[in-house]
Amino acid sequence: MKPELKLPGIAYGGDYNPEQWPEEVWAEDMRLMREAGVTMVSVGIFSWALLEPAEGEYDFSRMDKILGLLHDNGIAADLATPTAAPPAWFFRRHPEALPVDRDGRRLSYGSRQTFCPSSPAYRRAALRITRAIADRYAGHPAVAMWHVHNEYGCHNAECYCDTSAEAFRGWLRSRYEDLAALNEAWGTTFWSQWYYDWDEILPPRPTGAVPNPTHQLDWRRFCSDELLSLYVAERDVLGAAAPSIPATTNFMVMYNFDALDYWRWAPHLDVLSNDHYLRSTDPESEIDIALSGDLMRSLAGGPWLLMEHSTGAVNWQPVNRAKGPGELRRNALAHVARGADGIAYFQWRAAKAGAEQWHSAMLPHAGTDSRIWQDVVRLGADLRALAEVRDSAGTAEVAVVWDWNARWALELPSQPSGELRFLDLVRDWYEPLWRAGVAVDFVRPDADLSSYRLVLAPSLYLVDEAGAANLTSFARRGGVLAVGFHSGAVDENCHVRLGGYPGAFREVLGVRGDELFPLLPGESVGLTGEVTPGATGTLWSERVRTEGARVVATYTEGPLSGRPAITRNAYGEGVAWYVATRPDPATLGALLDRIRSEAGVEPVRTTPEGVEAALRRGSDADYLFLIDHSGRGGEVAVSDGATELLTGKPVGDGSVTVPAGGVVVVREPRQ
Ligand code: GAL
């Protein structure tokens, strides 16, 4: 049994960095945290230089006071290991622990996360400070959770130094055992890349022409595993000192961060947590939040914690947009709707100095006489009202296949099109489901699919035999499967499956392609058939013929005119759809509606356009979250005996009003 976070209700707080402020400020922090209803804060994340002023010499006086103060005020600590930011003294002694970027430049210290993940000196130093913290605070009553490191790989996912090269070779040796197997897997007869000695193998440093794809893919796998081994080493130290305190590390499953294979990481965490920030350029960030939350709930197999997001603008985008009226509340409660049992911000008090001085916080520069502070206090009250939602889970009948190996491989150079982006392709398919209020889980290709009616694989370029067989047998046994273009093309070594496209899924889809016709940026082709007039495809097309499947739509023009673009195949007890292009959003939306009704999947609730619906299932009640993004609000039907949790009022007449830009959470007792 993994240790659990023993806090009542939905945790509320943020990163707390009191070391940046004189002690007089701390008392005010405590008073205001209580006013806002803060229950847990993350402390010490970047405190290494203060905790260990010189190698092996510790100064815990400040941390003792901080933890004491938190405890006295009834606020739990998510106590960090400060290993994301080694002090300057460490690098002066170990300059070899500084990372080398892809262009061969050794970086300097002076910010954070500038260390080589494979450096033995870094590992020793990180475990030494971790042990010192574990020994001192394992029994401290304020410590509710360990916050291991911070956002592994955010700035240093890859290091190309000689030490990393050596570690990469070690990782390859345990994967392949002998060089012949590696040469086979990497296809090194190509371009005279054959290796005769392990020492010949380097990280994929810049080279004259396109590097070997499998080499690059294994490099991504190695980099993820290397950081994971650092996490596991710290967690083991903490776990040995305090077996009942859970450990987490904050993931970044979205904002285009794809350095870590979180399916491999998730089993090693006691509690899963995530950081999520809006991108100013995304006009519908609410979809990004939902996708991220669904992915987190899927990784966690249940509730998880939102470890960081922002009350307003961040400081790291070209232009950092503030949030609009009600957006802070909508954002936070949307994460809860997708399974977050804790809501936290970066950070508690806005910094006046340092690289993040222009990042928003719970307590802004302006102080409590500010809209953000009012929103923060209100959110604290909202989360208290939602306490009973804790531990409730999702209810999805639709699974979307998500795989980091497939993502990495799809985005390697030298694809038929350099325009393919995994996240965009997944979001294309996720969006219509979100708009329709359909609950979605994310799954690995080899997951147990028995609880789903519909499985979607929008982009699964790389899939191994086990994954492909699993998806195929899902359809054979009566499920509805839909697969996006260029899926199943290569195996786990990035080798093309021969005999026609889409490789691994030819049989289940009942189609065979013999040539790929990617489209240029801005180019589109018309579609006709069981689609609305004016339907188009962009990005991709391929010459496909059916081998058992029925043609649903064909191209109207170009070299593939009259050829299938969308097909449907009755397979075993089930059905398998192939979407061989990127349909325009309306066409894809209509197609997915059709596929979903064929699978018998209903939305969690029908709502007016722009009102998001998500459901968490508790032991004796369902919790329906309704969030208006349209600015119009609307009426939504709810079941008898329902209660509005945020207001505490019973629902009188079988429906609730979602105010414009507002949020309503309804407890519906289960009959
Ligand atoms: C996160 C990081 C925080 C802070 C925040 C700013 O990536 O974990 O420490 O830098 O971004 O948005």
Q: What is the pLDDT of residues 128-143, one digit of tens each?
A: 999 999 999 999 999 9
Q: Which of 275, 305, 316, 345 to mutate to test the pocket of ligand 1 (most atoms within 8 A of CB)?
A: 275
Residue 14 · residue 344 · CB < 8 Å: yes
In angstroms, the Cα distances linking 254 to 259, 292, 458, 587 are 11, 6, 17, 26
CA–CA gap between residue 316 and residue 203 (Å, rounded): 29
Do residues 441 and 590 both lie within one domain?
yes
Taking the CA atoms of 166, 168, 170 and 176 in sequence, report the sign of the dihedral they define: negative
Q: Which of 257, 346, 349, 362 to mutate to test the pocket of ligand 1 (most atoms within 8 A of CB)?
A: 346
For residue 101, give every residue at least 6 positions away whose Cβ sits within 8 Å of its Cβ, in sequence order, or none. 107, 158, 159, 160
Query: Which atom from ligand 1 is nearest to the alpha carbon of 150?
Result: 8
Atom 4 of ligand 1, residue of closest alpha carbon: 346
Atom 11 of ligand 1, residue of closest alpha carbon: 346
Q: What is the pLDDT of residues 76-105, one digit of tens each?
A: 999 999 999 999 999 999 999 999 999 999
pLDDT tier at 113, thresholds 50, 70, 90: very high
**Which of 151, 431, 492, 542 does the annotation list as catalytic?**
151
Q: Which of 369, 389, 409 corresponds to the end of one domain?
A: 389
Q: Which of 43, 112, 273, 308 to mutate to test the pocket of ligand 1 (most atoms within 8 A of CB)?
A: 308
- Structure letter (DSSP) for residue 159: -
Do residues 69 and 90 both lie within one domain?
yes
CA–CA gap between residue 277 and residue 345 (Å, rounded): 10
The tokens for 77 are 């600590």
Query: How far from chain centre, in Å, is Cα 70?
Result: 30
pTM: 0.98
451: in domain: yes
Ligand 1 neighbourhood includes 314 CB (under 6 angstroms):
yes
Atom 9 of ligand 1, residue of closest alpha carbon: 346
User: What total number of domains does the chain contain?
Assistant: 3
Distance 567 CA to ligand 1 centre (A): 45
Which range (124-138, 255-269, 319-333) has the least confidence? 255-269
> Given its phi and psi angles, is residue 613 left (phi above 0), alpha (psi -120 to 50 degrees) or beta?
beta
pLDDT tier at 298, thresholds 50, 70, 90: very high
Do residues 46 and 142 both lie within one domain?
yes
Ligand 1 neighbourhood includes 356 CB (under 6 angstroms):
yes
CA–CA gap between residue 580 and residue 298 (Å, rounded): 27
Ligand 1 neighbourhood includes 151 CB (under 6 angstroms):
yes
Do residues 373 and 420 both lie within one domain?
no
Do residues 304 and 348 both lie within one domain?
yes
163: in domain: no
Residue 564 · residue 545 · CB < 8 Å: yes
Question: Where is 143: in which H helix or E strand?
Answer: strand 143-147
Give the CATH number, domain containing residue 127. 3.20.20.80
CA–CA gap between residue 403 and residue 445 (Å, rounded): 7
Residue 255 clears pLDDT 80, i.e. is over it: no
CA–CA gap between residue 207 and residue 104 (Å, rounded): 12
How far apart are the two ends of the chain, measured CA to CA in Å?
32
Can you give the pLDDT at residue 235?
Answer: 98
Can you give the pLDDT at residue 671?
Answer: 74
pLDDT tier at 444, thresholds 50, 70, 90: very high
- Per-residue HEC secondary structure of 206-236 comes to CCCCCCCHHHHHHHHHHHHHHHHHHHHHHHH
Determine what percent of the chain is predicted with pLDDT higher than 70.
100
Distance 275 CA to ligand 1 centre (A): 8
Can you give the pLDDT at residue 72?
Answer: 98
Distance 55 CA to ligand 1 centre (A): 27
Q: What is the pLDDT of residues 499-511, one digit of tens each?
A: 999 999 999 999 9
151 as an active site residue: the answer is yes
Ligand 1 neighbourhood includes 154 CB (under 6 angstroms):
yes
Distance 277 CA to ligand 1 centre (A): 9
DSSP characters over 89-102: HHHHH-GGGS-B-T
Residue 652 clears pLDDT 90, i.e. is over it: no
- Angle subtended by helix axes 179-186 and 162-176, to nearest 10: 100
219: in domain: no
DSSP characters over 299-326: HHTS-EEEEE--SS--SSSSS-PPP-TT
176: in domain: no
DSSP characters over 15-38: EE-GGGS-HHHHHHHHHHHHHHT-
Ligand 1 neighbourhood includes 347 CB (under 6 angstroms):
no
Can you give the pLDDT at residue 496?
Answer: 98
Residue 256 clears pLDDT 80, i.e. is over it: no
CA–CA gap between residue 269 and residue 471 (Å, rounded): 28
pLDDT tier at 483, thresholds 50, 70, 90: very high
Can you give the pLDDT at residue 653?
Answer: 86
Do residues 629 and 514 both lie within one domain?
no
Q: Which of 337, 369, 389 corresponds to the end of one domain?
A: 389
Q: Which of 389, 414, 439 corresponds to the end of one domain?
A: 389
Query: Which atom from ligand 1 is nearest to the alpha carbon of 250?
Result: 8
493: in domain: yes
Distance 85 CA to ligand 1 centre (A): 13
Atom 12 of ligand 1, residue of closest alpha carbon: 314
Distance 637 CA to ligand 1 centre (A): 40
Determine what percent of the chain is predicted with pLDDT higher than 90.
99
**Which of 158, 234, 286, 308 does the annotation list as catalytic?**
308
308 as an active site residue: the answer is yes
Can you give the pLDDT at residue 583?
Answer: 98
**What stretches of 395-436 adopt beta strand conformation (E)?**
398-401
The tokens for 638 are 């709810």
Distance 308 CA to ligand 1 centre (A): 8
For residue 398, give every residue at least 6 positions away whose Cβ sits within 8 Å of its Cβ, in sequence order, or none. 433, 438, 439, 440, 441, 452, 453, 454, 455, 456, 596, 599, 601
The tokens for 116 are 């080589």
Give the CATH number, domain containing residue 648. 2.60.40.1180
Ligand 1 neighbourhood includes 308 CB (under 6 angstroms):
yes
Environment class of residue 388 by beta-carbon count within 10 Å: exposed (0-12), middle (13-18) or buried (19+)?
middle
CA–CA gap between residue 31 and residue 36 (Å, rounded): 9
Taking residues 378-388, report their average pLDDT.
Answer: 98
Do residues 118 and 63 both lie within one domain?
yes
In angstroms, the Cα distances linking 213 to 18, 178, 253, 348, 416 are 47, 20, 24, 44, 13
Rg (CA), the chain: 26
Query: Which atom from ligand 1 is nearest to the alpha carbon of 151?
Result: 8
86: in domain: yes
Taking residues 546-573, report their average pLDDT.
Answer: 98
Ligand 1 neighbourhood includes 351 CB (under 6 angstroms):
no
CA–CA gap between residue 491 and residue 471 (Å, rounded): 15
Do residues 360 and 504 both lie within one domain?
no
CA–CA gap between residue 458 and residue 423 (Å, rounded): 10
CA–CA gap between residue 302 and residue 137 (Å, rounded): 29
330, 332, 339: which is closest to 296 by C-alpha?
Answer: 339
Do residues 538 and 471 both lie within one domain?
yes
CA–CA gap between residue 562 and residue 557 (Å, rounded): 8
Can you give the pLDDT at residue 507?
Answer: 98
Give the CATH number, domain containing residue 555. 3.40.50.880
137-172 b/e with 16+ CB inside 10 Å = b? bbebebbbbbbbbbbbbbebbbbbbebbbebbbebb
Do residues 251 and 110 both lie within one domain?
yes
Ligand 1 neighbourhood includes 277 CB (under 6 angstroms):
yes
180: in domain: no
Q: Which of 17, 47, 151 to mutate to test the pocket of ligand 1 (most atoms within 8 A of CB)?
A: 151
Taking the CA atoms of 421, 487, 285 and 300 in sequence, report the sign of the dihedral they define: negative
Taking residues 634-660, report their average pLDDT.
Answer: 96
DSSP characters over 601-668: PPPS----TTEEEEEEE-SSEEEEEEEE-SSS-EEEE--TT-EETTTTEEP-SSEEEE-TT-EEEEEE
Q: Which of 41, 251, 349, 356 to mutate to test the pocket of ligand 1 (most atoms within 8 A of CB)?
A: 356
Distance 352 CA to ligand 1 centre (A): 16
Ligand 1 neighbourhood includes 43 CB (under 6 angstroms):
no
Taking residues 460-483, report their average pLDDT.
Answer: 98
Looking at the DSSP assignment, which residues form a beta bridge with residue 613? 626
In which domain, by residue range, is 643 found? 611-669
Distance 263 CA to ligand 1 centre (A): 22
197: in domain: no
Do residues 379 and 411 both lie within one domain?
no
Distance 150 CA to ligand 1 centre (A): 9
Residue 164 clears pLDDT 80, i.e. is over it: yes
CA–CA gap between residue 85 and residue 51 (Å, rounded): 12
Residue 347 · residue 364 · CB < 8 Å: no
Do residues 316 and 419 both lie within one domain?
no
pLDDT tier at 354, thresholds 50, 70, 90: very high
Atom 5 of ligand 1, residue of closest alpha carbon: 346
Ligand 1 neighbourhood includes 150 CB (under 6 angstroms):
yes
Q: What are phi and psi of 300, to 5 degrees?
A: -80, -20
Residue 393 · residue 617 · CB < 8 Å: yes
CA–CA gap between residue 480 and residue 384 (Å, rounded): 41
